Amino acid sequence: MTKVVVIGGGLSGLSAAYILEQEAQKAGLEIDVTVLEKKDRIGGKVWSIQEEGYTCEWGPNGFLDSKPWTLELCDNLGIRDQLVRSDDNARKRFIYSEGELHRMAENGPAFLKSKLISWPGKMRLAAELVIPKRTDGADETLADFGRRRLGSEALDKLIAPMVSGIFAGDPETMSLRSCFKRIYELEQEYGGLIKALIKLAKKKKREIKEGKVVASAAGPGGVLTSFYNGIQELTDGIAERIDGTIQKTAPVEKITKKDDGFELTLADGSTVDAEVVISATPSHAATGMVEGLDAELSKVLADIPYAPINVVCFGYERDRVAHNLDGFGYLIPKREGRSTLGTLWDSSIFPNRAPEGHVMLRSMMGGAVRPELVGIPEEEIVERVKLDLRTIMGVDADPSFLRVFPQLRAIPQYTVGHSKRVEAVEAASKRHPGLFYTGNAFYGVGLNDCVNASNQTVAKVINHLKK
């Protein structure tokens, strides 16, 4: 019986533990899995808080169904029939610019009619057709890529809000190749984004005629998917089906190498032995664990920065909000000088997010571009959000429900050099056979990315156990 310890009881750790048990059984391997979670609850950043008839997501609110990994996990868990898909109106997304909410264009004609980008800005975008691709292989920032290919206005009003919406990040520091690998590949393969879209559209049309199913050309596509009572149903569902032990309030402080595996020292001084260790904690938490084992690895893990964020949930009686909530919500470019990064109209996206006759608005504040706003007094946070909602949506009423969730280290930032850091972590795993790393600090921050990373990590563990 091989003893396996998974450090971290978030989505990455739980899915790694469950998938490993399933794959080991298929391979005829006998394992005993223990999940060690630092906090007194499982789920990590996944936390659906239900109070007064509202469901407020502390972290992510769902995953896109265009990628198979989380759907396949739900199939294996037997909970796919419990999924809920976002309303079609959630496809309507907005950018707040120059005192107005602009709907994001979904096609060429709509883009030409949109007032979000000025005509000079649109002409600059069209010039992307004649801009040569970059061939030096440099790890370019998203901002440098945006200015080079699309122009400064598109960077400010399109790329920067998208980066803040996904990563709460700053495009001036984020790596194009690590954050949006597909966009990097499109430039390298086709010479430019517009050229790629034209050629891929032709390919899609041809394959449709041939009866083939094709994916979206460049974007993630798909429909946002969750559960009726919130995305926490996913992590709860995984935990219920793990055969091994889940131990909460069990923070790991040190990993020590032994002849037959590893010894994990917990905060209370007790130790746990394991032949295989899967670290699924945030990189900053893993740093101290391996400082004595591998100083180089510890430094690399510490070099992955995290953006802080305030998640602010406001509930209102529907008739107190005059603005049309027919959509997903909006993002705000940094140049607008608002306190919030954007607001999601959560009760318009999924059912059961607000009581009958009420609505839920969930705002994000801080991020890599305004980190100073995380940690300020809650009263000031609330007043800043109220001001933004009044300015942008005309909401004058006080919320009847409010919750503020500060997260000092919310989302890992894939800054320039991230791919080299990931390579260094992978090299360290080879130096210490039996020690593996997974989680959103390395290969993607979305729920789909975390489940896929768990799949890949489990495959490596199975190969290791078969040796």
- Residue appearing with tokens 């034209």: 198
| DSSP string for 153-197 | HHIIIIIHHHHHHHHS--TTTBBHHHH-HHHHHHHHHHSSHHHHH
CB distance 280 to 42 below 8 Å = no
CATH 3.90.660.20 range(s) for the chain read: 306-412
The one-character DSSP state at 80 is G
Long-range contacts of 214-219 (CB under 8 A, 24+ apart): 215/66, 216/66, 218/182, 218/183, 218/186, 218/193
CATH 1.10.3110.10 range(s) for the chain read: 122-215
Whose CA is closest to 89, among 356, 345, 303, 466?
Answer: 345
Q: How far apart are alpha carbons 178 and 160 in whole angstroms? A: 16
The backbone torsions φ and ψ at residue 252, rounded to the nearest 5 degrees and listed phi first, read -90, 130
Which pLDDT score, from 0 to 100, does residue 133 have? 94
The fold for domain 2-41+235-304+415-466 equals FAD/NAD(P)-binding domain (3.50.50)
CATH 3.50.50.60 range(s) for the chain read: 2-41+235-304+415-466
Q: How far apart are alpha carbons 28 and 39 in whole angstroms? A: 33
Q: How far apart are alpha carbons 136 and 21 in whole angstroms? A: 44
**Single pTM value for the model:** 0.94
Q: From residue 59, how far is each of 46, 76, 95, 327, 356 by CA, in Å?
A: 5, 24, 21, 20, 24
Superfamily of structural domain 122-215: protoporphyrinogen ix oxidase, domain 3 (1.10.3110.10)
Which pLDDT score, from 0 to 100, does residue 219 have? 41
Q: By CB neighbour count within 10 A (0-12 exposed, 13-18 middle, 19+ buried), where does 132 fall?
A: exposed
**pLDDT tens, the chain, 467 aa long:** 999 999 999 999 999 999 999 999 999 999 999 999 999 999 999 999 999 999 999 999 999 999 999 999 999 999 999 999 998 888 899 999 999 999 999 888 888 899 999 999 999 999 999 999 999 989 999 999 999 999 999 999 999 999 999 999 999 999 999 999 999 999 999 999 999 988 888 877 776 665 544 443 334 568 999 999 999 999 999 999 999 999 999 999 999 999 999 999 999 999 999 999 999 999 999 999 999 999 999 999 999 999 999 999 999 999 999 999 999 999 999 999 999 999 999 999 999 999 999 999 999 999 999 999 999 999 999 999 999 999 999 999 999 999 999 999 999 999 999 999 999 999 999 999 999 999 999 999 999 999 999 999 999 999 999 97
Long-range contacts of 212-219 (CB under 8 A, 24+ apart): 215/66, 216/66, 218/182, 218/183, 218/186, 218/193
- Residue appearing with tokens 């169904």: 65
- Residue 34, classed as helix, strand or coil, is strand
Q: How far apart are alpha carbons 164 and 248 in whole angstroms? A: 32
306-412 is a CATH 3.90.660.20 domain: yes
| DSSP string for 192-235 | SHHHHHHHHHHHHHHHHHTT-----SSS--S-EEEETT-THHHH
Report H helices in 282-404: 283-289, 295-302, 346-349, 378-393
Report the chain's terminal Cα–Cα distance, integer Å. Answer: 15
Backbone angle region of 259, left / alpha / beta, with phi > 0 → left and psi within -120 to 50 → alpha: alpha
The backbone torsions φ and ψ at residue 367, rounded to the nearest 5 degrees and listed phi first, read 75, -175
Which pLDDT score, from 0 to 100, does residue 386 have? 98
